[in-house]
Amino acid sequence: MSFVSRLGQALRRSLLGVKNDTARIMRMEVSAMEHATDSQLLYKLATPADLEQMATGADSDIGGLSRCHFSLERETQEGKVPSVFGRFYGTLSSQIPRGSSLERSGYAAFRNKTRPTLFSMQTWDTSFHPYLAILVRNRLASSSTPSSPSLRSALHANDQTGPAIPRAVEALGLPYGNVPARSPDPPLFFVNIQTDGPVTTDLYQHRLFLDESQGTNWQTITIPFDSFVLTNLGVVSDLQVSMLREKILTVGVSALVDPPLLPVREEGEPEPATAPETLGALRREPSRGGKRDTLVKFDLDIAGIWAVASPVDAMQLL
């Protein structure tokens, strides 16, 4: 894309932002309740133009062996299902090539591209919609089976600034006490949110827990924004900071062999009062390929991502 084209897009985004802000002021929109009944579309994947707004990456970009692709697919089916959607697929490899400086490998991801304006970056304000909803389908899911309540329960922590480790154990699907890890076999899918904050490497993450009983059917997954956990460079941050939900920059999905790491505490530092017994085994330094020589395929269809007022609203997106 030429400089003139990028400048034109930035100008259009700037004018659109001014237009929307002016319209809100003229309508005197000051109450959150006026917005809380509507869903807010972040993006759909229905046209070639939508596809061009997506960015992909994998550890192959820095010397690893994982590969990913993103394409637009069309499908004719009966019923209320997407007919056009994005397909995120590829292969994850935890193998470290000989002579590589990589410490961990086995990841691939996509997200929307950043949207610069003349003066800043265009962001989404999700202040009035406390849930994120994503319409997805796992092409490689096993046949539909009864789903375990322990895997589907929404035990989300609402305190975004609470103890980092217990919140991360829940949101990322790690073992907790006598409860085993939720769906521990790769590929592990995560929803990733980047905000327009001061630390560009900060990422808010939550495991994308798919309903196993749905098999290869489409399903809408709803996650409270308050349940996302702050990570930095693949490690859960000790200091959990509330998400700037009024300045969401990018939203995407990653496929991993290993989940993010828990923070390593200094020797002699006490465990948090709510820490589970198994944390000692979970907290570790980055290793060269946590699951050595793992090779696994992933194939996920995504129709769109929204911010919604409630899980009930999420069920009415199509």
Residues 124 and 179 occupy one common structural domain: yes
Q: Are residues 241 and 285 in the same domain?
A: yes
**Weakest-pLDDT range from 13-17, 173-177, 209-213, 248-252:** 13-17
Whether 117 and 233 map to the same domain: the answer is yes
Question: What local confidence, expressed as pLDDT, does residue 159 receive?
Answer: 56
pLDDT category at 2 given cuts 50, 70, 90 is: low
What gap in Å lies between CA 17 and CA 21, rounded to an integer? 6
The verdict on 97 and 230 lying in the same domain is yes
The answer on 148 and 66 residing in a single domain is yes
pLDDT > 70? residue 4? no
Per-residue pLDDT of 197-216, as tens digits, reads 999 999 999 999 999 999 99
- Alpha-carbon distance 250 to 114, whole Å? 7
CATH number of the domain residue 245 falls in: 2.60.120.430
114 and 22 part of one domain: no
Q: Which domain holds residue 24?
A: 1-30
| pTM recorded for the entire structure | 0.80
Looking at the fold, whether 168 and 196 belong to one and the same domain comes out as yes
pLDDT in tens, 263-295: 876 554 544 444 333 333 334 444 444 456 899
The answer on pLDDT for 240 being more than 90 is yes
Looking at the fold, whether 24 and 80 belong to one and the same domain comes out as: no
With beta carbons less than 8 A apart as the criterion, state whether 189 and 254 touch: yes
Residue 218 and residue 127 share a domain: yes
Q: How far apart are CA 315 and CA 300, in angstroms?
A: 19
How large is the average pLDDT for residues 80-105? 93
Query: What is the 3 state secondary structure string of the chain?
Result: CCHHHHHHHHHHHHHHHHHHHHHHHHHCCCCHHHCCCCCEEEEECCCHHHHHCEEEEEHHHHCCCCEEEEEEEECCCCCCCCCEEEEEEEEEECCCCCCCCCCCCCEEEEEECCEECCCCEECECCCCCCEEEEEEEECCCCCCCCCCHHHHCCCCCCCCCCCHHHHHHHHCCCCECCECCCCCCCCEEEEEEEECCCCCCEEEEEECCCCHHHCCCCEEEEEEHHHCEEEECCEECCCCCCCCCCCEEEEEEEEECCCCECCCCCCCCCCCCCCCCCHHHHCCCCCCCCCCCCEEEEEEEEEEEEEECCHHHHCCCC
- Domain match, 67 and 184 both: yes
Q: Are residues 149 and 183 both part of a single domain? A: yes
Q: Are 205 and 260 in contact (CB under 8 A)?
A: yes
Shared domain for 218 and 200, answered yes or no, is yes
**What is the tally of structural domains in the chain?**
2
Structure-token pair, residue 46: 């229905």
